[in-house]
Each structure stands twice: as C-alpha cells, then as structure tokens.
Amino acid sequence: MRNRILVLLLFTGCFVATTLGQDSRSNFPRFNFNVGGGFGDGRGDVGSFVGNSFFAVGGAGMNFSRVFGVSGEYMYYDLTPRQNVSESQGLQSASGELHAFSLNGLVRAPFHFDRFRPYAIFGVGFYDRRVSSSTGSVFPGSICQPSWVWWDIYCVNGRTPSSSGIQDLGSFSKIAGGYNYGGGVTYSLNRWHNSKVYVEYRYHKAYQSDVQTIVWPFTVGLRW
C-alpha cells in the first residue's frame, strides 16, 4: 500500500510540474543561477578539528516550471584545522579544504508572502576533501593523533606500527560520494534581471572511507 501511495504521489508531482511548465512557460525564467557564501557549522570530525568555517558557493541550472528546477553547483568549504588542534596534534602549517560538486533539485513553494518565497533543495554529488601540512614524515612507533585520520595515517592501538613503515603528513586528498538537503527563503528585488536575495540552510554529508565529512552551511546570496 505504501509503495502504491508513493508512486501515486510521484506521478502527481510529475503531472503538476508538466502542467505548470506548459501553462506558464512565459511566466518564469528558463535558467537559474546562484552565488553566495557564509559560515558553516562542522559536525563530527569537521566540528572537532575545524569548528565553524567560511565557504562560497555558485551554481547554474534550468527551470521546468515556476515550481520545479535543477541546478549544478560547486561549493568551496574551508577545512583548515583550528590553531589549538594543529599545535596539540603535531600539525605544522596545516590547511584543508572541501570541494563539492552536486546536482540538485529545486522545489519552490507555489505561493509567496509579498516578496518572500520559501523553497526546498536536495541533491547528490562528489566531495573532494584535501589537506596538507609541512609536518613531513611520521615514523613507526609515533603516537597517533585524532586529526591524522584525514591524512590516512595507519595506526594500531594508538601508534603507527613498524609494518606500516614511514608515513607522510604532507598533502592528501580523498574523494567520495554524498548528498545534501535543506531549504531557504528568497526575497525578490524586482531588478537586476529579477534577482532575489536568498537565505539558505543545508546539510552536506560525504562518505569518505576513513571518516564521514559533515557540514551545515548557512548561505546568504543572490538567485536569478
């Protein structure tokens, strides 16, 4: 019964999207763009090693109707470890960054409050977590630190085993798939090609093979 209801809802949604697209094609822009930035709230290891951090995002896509659209998006998120983490965990000149590429669906509310209009966004993508430091070599028998997991340092019982040989705390990158979801509100400016100021809160989660990368970015920007 639940599967039948889900299929019915999906069919109804597709029908509504098609109808809106046919009946009001001239009342909405064919393409959509966005650019923004703000601060993100790190969770899990991102919260432990980085805490809150800045990010920037930009995207472009297509609208199928006034309600439904898609957008390809790029996000840069700073993952530089906090100074006290670097100092206490043997990281010299450490830095980090997350590059996210996602394909997202946009669902805008079919109503608005004056110039305000809420929307939902969700999607999937690839997340490239990159870190680097000038610490250099890690020799067998070294006491492992929590943040070293981002450098893929192999540890057993809290130390690097002799079987692992010399490992490196230099530059390292790990790519994984993930997803995101969230929502926001736009405020129409009625100028600059009908651009809108938007405020958005989203959840991003990437499934790297060592530890998951989780961030909650809070964005302020423009959509048009």
126, 176 Cβ separation under 8 angstroms: yes
Q: What is the CATH number of domain 29-223?
A: 2.40.160.20
Domain ranges (residues) in the chain: 29-223
Which regions of 6-51 does DSSP assign to beta strands (E)? 31-43
With residues binned 3-state (H G I as helix, E B as strand, rest as coil), the percentages for the chain, rounded to 5, are 20, 55, 25
Q: One digit per residue, pLDDT tens: the chain, 224 residues?
A: 434 434 334 444 444 444 444 444 457 889 999 999 999 999 999 999 999 999 999 999 999 999 999 999 999 999 999 999 999 998 999 999 999 999 999 999 998 898 999 999 999 999 999 999 999 999 999 999 999 999 999 999 999 999 889 999 999 999 999 999 999 999 999 777 779 999 999 999 999 999 999 999 999 999 99
Measured distance CA(68)–CA(176) in Å, rounded: 28
Q: Work out whether strand 116-138 and strand 167-188 pair parallel, antiparallel, or are unpaired.
A: antiparallel
CA distances from 189 to 80, 193, 199 (A): 36, 9, 14
For the entire predicted model, the pTM comes to 0.84
